[in-house]
Structure 1
Amino acid sequence: MLDVYYLENTNRNFNDMYLCYCGFEKCTPLHSFGPAIRPNYLLHYVLDGKGYYYANNKKYTVTKNEGFLISPNVITFYEADEEEPWTYLWIGIDGNKVKTYLKCIGLDEENLIFKCDEADLLKECVMEMLKHHKSTDADSFKIEGLLYLFFSRLSNNIKSTLSDDDSISNNYVNKAIEFIQDNYYRPIKVRDIAEYTCLNRSYLTSIFQKYLKMPPQKFLMEFRITKAADLLYDTDLPIGNIAYSCGYTDPLSFSKAFRKVKGISPKEYRLNKKGCTKQYLLLD
């Protein structure tokens, strides 16, 4: 079995709701997408393993039989776990009534995470969609029917939830994350974050550990490396310049941090990303 299946639907003749694309992927450790903005709604559903979803300054841990919603025009990032990388399916959808339909099953901009125990049925829907790729009218009607069946199965079983609900309402954590996002390119340290939030360092560390499952130092490092990875892929800037742009005054320290997060050096990452030719258009 292939690790990736993908379908882009070019027949979009239905106004209320229609499929833009769908797919299935068994991800490699730390496989990630973003930060990115989507023009349409996108649902991911985890069949196995786990990973992490970042949206609206919040981090969610998403595991087997759970899923997450990506809303249009919102910056998001998601990444497979290193030890238990997720296998997931996804459907990209659009239409005049999509927002209403999502609300009917308990999903909106404030409720992005859901649970559903119908993994086999949801997978069956998507795998069946993938078979109808000939762009005929018959295929279009079949895909549209499967899309509504997918929603029917979700609505019968879905349990809307907010992962780490306490952390989401925690003003200190949100304030710290906003400070990191606004200042990651400066040589800030944990003590600067603690000073900004008016907390002592030990308490700041304890609430990060409790709500985000990592200390603030690791969160800051991973955020910087995510930004650096984008620059490595999207630009031809020298690695030293990218290091400085992401808050590292020492390129060697940057390289060590990058390898710790991504498992390879910045140079190797750039070569791998730019040298990779994909057989499929992966909009996972």
Structure 2
Amino acid sequence: MIEYLQKSKHHTELHLTQFGIESCIPRHFHGPAVRDYYLLHYILEGRGSFEVGGTTYTLGKGQGFLICPGVVTYYEADASHPWTYCWVGFNGTLAEWLLKQAGLTLSSPILHYNSDDRLYRYIQMMDDSKKDFPRSRESRLNGLLYLMLSELVESGPVEPNSPKSVRSEVYVEKVLDLIEVNYAQKITMEDIAHAIGLNRSYLCSLFKQRMNTSIQDYLIRCRINKACEMMGNAELSIGDISRSVGYNDPLLFSKMFKKVKGLSPKHYRTELQTEAGD
């Protein structure tokens, strides 16, 4: 079974180009050749060899290999016990990053996945989607590809512990990203610590050391800065803006706004309108 797909006009971050399952005859081979997309094979039964960059890998059930765009590769089924494999071809701006998260790169192209038959079942579901999801098939196929790659990321090699300074930067960056996305929600320090996976006191201390401000103060300033961006929209009332940045209590919003900006939301908007009229 094999299916080739047309180029996606909508899913530029990640999209399938082909997928299939094949039981190869002895010594069946491909290449030497290059592809202009990523091609990932997973071996269901049997054995074979994969050659890339002057290195030959002998592979069997539960293993696989990645072909990167523009790289010459050659692979051949074993003479006595030829492999059966499934594969997906894909591309997109996120493809390389997702593969790297799974430990798969040009210099490390071999896949190890012995957990279950889930990868095979995803390929089957891709095939079934032709009749089961005729109107939404492109999105369905992409969803299945994301699921497949998430399995590989989850089962991939664990990165060695980074130096403490590097880890702290990562945690702080996660806090910043979390606040950027969720500043409008009723988010607490406990929520943030739980999402990051660290003790609250430790995370707050780490953040203060790196940012010279507390997480709470950073969250307040983020909300007020977002509110200032909305002040120029005359269709939004002060109450609308207050609720849009996480303050259901307009009095508390006014208090926090004045604390950060030195004047009330109403006076800030008046000054903004005056400057715009000059």
Structure 1 equivalent of residue 2 of structure 2: 6
1:194-243 deviation per Cα after TM superposition (whole angstroms, max 9, x unaligned): xxxxxxxxxxxxxxxxxxxxxxxxxxxxxxxxxxxxxxxxxxxxxxxxxx
Q: 1:41 to 1:11 in 2, by over 3 A?
A: closer
Contact 1:118 1:153 in 2 (8 A): no
Deviation at 1:132, TM superposition (A): 2.6
Q: Which runs of 5+ in 2 are unaligned?
A: 159-278
Structure 2 equivalent of residue 180 of structure 1: none
Deviation at 1:159, TM superposition (A): 4.4
Structure 2 equivalent of residue 165 of structure 1: none
Aligned with residue 112 of structure 2, among 84, 94, 115: 115
**Stretches of 4+ aligned residues off by more than 4 angstroms:** 134-137
1:3-152 correspondence runs (5 A): 5-10=1-6, 12=8, 13-133=10-130, 136-152=134-150
Q: 1:9 to 1:123 in 2, by over 3 A?
A: same
Q: TM-score, normalised by structure 2?
A: 0.54
Aligned with residue 155 of structure 1, among 145, 153, 156: 153
- Distance in 1 separating the partners of 2:115 and 2:40: 15
- Distance in 2 separating the partners of 1:16 and 1:51: 32
Amino acid at match of 1:45: Y
Contact 1:29 1:85 in 2 (8 A): yes
Deviation at 1:131, TM superposition (A): 2.0
Q: 1:159 to 1:116 in 2, by over 3 A?
A: farther
Higher relative contact order (CA 8 A, sep 6+): 1
Q: Which runs of 5+ in 1 are unaligned?
A: 161-284
RMSD (Å), alpha carbons: 1.7
Deviation at 1:109, TM superposition (A): 1.0
Structure with larger Rg: 2
Question: Equivalent pairs: percent with the same residue?
Answer: 35
Contact 2:2 2:19 in 1 (8 A): yes
Deviation at 1:133, TM superposition (A): 3.4
| Count of aligned pairs between the two proteins | 156
- Distance in 1 separating the partners of 2:44 and 2:136: 29
Amino acid at match of 2:153: S
Contact 1:116 1:159 in 2 (8 A): no
Structure 2 equivalent of residue 181 of structure 1: none
SS at match of 2:130: coil
Q: 1:14 to 1:55 in 2, by over 3 A?
A: same
Q: TM-score, normalised by structure 1?
A: 0.53
